[in-house]
Copies of this chain bind each other. A is one copy, B any other.
Amino acid sequence: MGEFDLIKQFFVRGAAANSAVALGIGDDCAVLNPAAGAQWLVSSDMLVEGRHFLSTVAPERLGHKALAVNLSDLAACGATPRVFTLALALPRADATWLAGFAKGLFALADAHGIALVGGDTTQGPLNICITVMGEAPAGQALLRSGARVGDDIYVSGTLGDARLALELFRGTLNLGGSDFETVRQAMECPQPRVALGQALRGVASSAIDVSDGLIGDLGHILQASGVGASLEADALPRSAILAAQTLAVQRECGLAGGDDYELVFTAAPTAQAAVLQAAQASATPVTRIGRIEAQPGLRLLDRQGQALAASFSSFDHFKS
């Protein structure tokens, strides 16, 4: 199968999916119509086999995940998804694999009204690079830099299941059949919190998505905002499956697991009702997990309010 046939068969789907697209796939560039008064938000993520996904993943789930991790960046900024490009290096043009990949990709794209407008395909070691673009009313994007002393810290959903799944694949832990499938789904099919992000515009003071682990990603908020925080380590929301593990595993997975794609965000105590309303409006559970403080650094407290001495580090692609 040739490159142009491949694009046509699996990735060209007729009319533009939304009003931002003046011209989609098929020219040197896509042509986009920014909405009046909007800012554009842009993010790129690259996924490599063995680093971001295992070779055992189903192509449909991989298509989903490749877009999901990018949508999660738009969610963290409170943006409305509009368009994306897809660059794909493939060892070979495998029609079965491509059909599955495209199916998972477009199911998620359609769920969020985001249109594929261009990209590239080439022969090479499997590599998936997606760039997403979204819109937000000017000045309303959620940033990492807005956390203020006294703000509450919240997180959406639950943390740690994706890391738990990774440990199961690594063989360091064991888990029965249906539980394994549940946490595997958390790892392979993360649901980006797009609706929550949009609902938090004008409510949250800062936000980031949890991709490298809560501690590391919350650390980016603290650094960008010039503040510190205390976190109730054992009050983190976790699944019943993770809660059945030892406290050490719960802490490692929840605090430093990575691949969660939940939102961690801050809001003034006076905004608490608005936060709960945003959670309800977006049908997304949120849990208060700590507080922003003036003292720099991140303090982890156990149930008794005692400092945890444990050291956790977030995932870094160039550290082992």
List residues of chain A with CB under 8 Å of any chain B CB.
1-4, 6, 22-23, 26-34, 36, 38-46, 48-52, 73-74, 76-77, 79, 83, 85-89, 92-93, 117-125, 127, 129, 131, 133-134, 138, 141, 143-145, 207-209, 224, 316-319
19 contacts between A and B (CB under 8 A): A2-B316, A2-B319, A28-B73, A28-B76, A30-B42, A31-B39, A31-B77, A34-B39, A42-B131, A43-B118, A44-B119, A46-B88, A48-B127, A49-B124, A123-B317, A124-B125, A124-B127, A129-B129, A131-B131
Q: How far is the CB of A137 from chain B (nearest CB, A)?
A: 12
Instruction: Please tell me which one of the listed residues B27, B73, B122, B141 contacts residue A317 in the complex, with CB atoms under 8 A apart.
Output: B122
In the complex with contacts A29-B74, A209-B28, A143-B23 CB distance below 8 A: yes
Find chain B residues with CB under 8 A from A131 CB: 42, 44, 85, 87, 131
Contact of A117 among B42, B86, B145, B209 (CB under 8 A): B42
Q: How many copies does the complex hold?
A: 2
Contacts of A28 in B (CB 8 A): 43, 73-74, 76-77, 144, 207-209
B2 and A73 contact, CB distance less than 8 A: no
Q: A3-B316, A44-B85, A125-B125 known; 20 other A-B pairs, CB under 8 Å?
A: A2-B319, A4-B316, A6-B318, A22-B39, A26-B144, A27-B77, A27-B143, A27-B224, A28-B73, A29-B141, A34-B34, A34-B38, A44-B86, A44-B87, A46-B122, A48-B123, A51-B123, A92-B318, A124-B127, A127-B129
